[in-house]
Amino acid sequence: MENGDTTTPTTANFTPGTTFDEDLTTGMMDRKSTEMEFSFEDHTQRAIVGSVFCLVAAAGLVGNSLVIMAVVLSQKLQTRTNAFVVNLATTDLITCFGIIFSAVTLFSKAGLPIPESVCSIAGAVTFLGGACSILTLAAIAVNRFVLITKSRETYWSMYTTKKTAAMLVFIWAYALSVCSLPFFGIGKWGYSDRYKFCIKDDSAPNSGLYSVLYSALVYPVPLIILIVCYYRIYRHVTNQLKTLKETGIEMDNTSTSCSESIRERHREPVNYSNRQVEITKNLFYVLCAFIVCLAPFAVALAIHTSDPAIPWTGMIASFNSAVNPVIYGVKHPHFKEVFRHMLRCRYHMIPEPSRFLQKMRSQSN
């Protein structure tokens, strides 16, 4: 430095005990963290998501109530499989109640408008509904697999009233045990200041750990069961149809009387199988709807930089709580008929009325 030159190099605000490079790196990381921090603050967007939540909750409450009422009113629908269908409708019903409170918080412009305890319960109910839904879908897949691929004796021995009840109890007990992790200091249900939902308190200790454990304990095994069961059902049905077709060709080459005798012998099992295959296809559509609704949300959760998409994919995920009754009403042969009579208040035309409905009729007369 030349004599008389009093200019000194400008230095950034150094932190004692650190070098200039360390301070610069820390500052850049802080700015990046601040830029990436997301909060769902846009009130227009929140109003849109909240309005959709309200519509989904209303449709889900009505539709799933119809499913439960249909099974209660028609003896024809009171099957082992529909015990799980009613359980699925019940989980969707309680999920719809949780959605309502998330809609309320989204509409609010002044923070949490409801008591924290109410928001925490709504969050717990949402987690519980999600766990019960996937577990019930897996139970339905196993039920259809046994019914379609095994003998009737095997099916009825596996699905007695007591065993079916025990399966349902296990579904709820397991879901409750997973969702109760906050009682052990892992995560906390409540208001998400980031997303403005009643779901999970992001600021709580081990909040991220709770999400990881919940996902690991709830989704992988049921998804594997679903894939394996429906694949095995598909293979069994296609092989059976191929065998029957080949048998039919052979029958045509034999005498007419022999052909008629063989057809008569196969008639009842084939009709029974076709009917059950149609019902199984309907329940497979329910699984497809679950995957379509939940997949965007799962992908968004897996991508660290997709926070802005979480509210919107969460909105799509909520559709699953209301779509199942629509599938039953359009595709399920038995539910479709009962729904039609219920919506037209023609209860006297409900096929195979239950004892409850018969009692109601006798009292009204």
Q: Judge whether residue 247 has pLDDT over 90.
A: no
Average pLDDT over residues 137-163: 92
pLDDT at 14 over 70: no
Q: Is the pLDDT of residue 120 over 90?
A: yes
> What's the length of the chain?
365
- The correct CATH number of 41-364 out of 2.60.40.10, 3.40.50.10540, 1.10.3210.50, 1.20.1070.10 is 1.20.1070.10
CA distances from 85 to 15, 79, 323 (A): 63, 10, 13
40-67: per-residue pLDDT in tens?
888 999 999 999 999 999 999 999 999 9
pLDDT at res. 365? 66
Would you say residue 190 has pLDDT above 50?
A: yes
Quick one: pLDDT at residue 100? Answer: 93
Average pLDDT over residues 5-12: 46
Identity of the residue numbered 185: G
What pTM, to 2 d.p., does this model score?
0.80
Check residue 271 and give its pLDDT: 38
Mean pLDDT of all residues in 209-218? 88
* Angle of the 256-302 helix axis to the 333-343 helix axis, nearest 10: 70
Residue 99: pLDDT band by 50, 70, 90 thresholds? very high
Please give the residue that has the higher pLDDT: either 278 or 25.
278
Q: Report the chain's mean pLDDT, rounded to a whole number.
A: 81
Q: Could you tell me which residue, 254 or 159, shows the higher pLDDT?
A: 159
Handedness of CA 174, 180, 186, 187 (dihedral sign): positive
Nearest CA to 321 out of 72, 100, 69, 121 is that of: 100
| Residue entry with tokens 């095997």 | 154
* Per-residue pLDDT band at 239 (split at 50, 70, 90): confident
- Give the pLDDT score at 25: 45
pLDDT interval class at 273 (50, 70, 90): low
pLDDT at 363: 79
Which is higher by pLDDT, 333 or 31? 333
CA–centroid distance for 126 within its chain = 10
The domain limits of the chain are 41-364
Residues 6+ apart with CB under 8 A from 320: 92, 133, 289, 290, 293, 294
pLDDT value at 9 more than 60: no
CA distances from 165 to 77, 92, 175 (A): 17, 19, 16
Q: What percent of the chain has pLDDT over 90?
A: 42
DSSP label at residue 353: B
Question: For position 8, what pLDDT does the model report?
Answer: 45
The mean per-residue pLDDT over the stretch 138-148 comes to 91
**Residue-wise burial string across 26-46, b where 16 or more C-beta atoms lie within 10 A, e elsewhere:** eeeeeeeeeeeeeebeeeeeb
DSSP 233-277: HHHHHHHHHHHHHHHHHHHHTS-HHHHHHHHHHHHHHHHHHHHHH
| Residues forming a β-bridge with 74 | 353
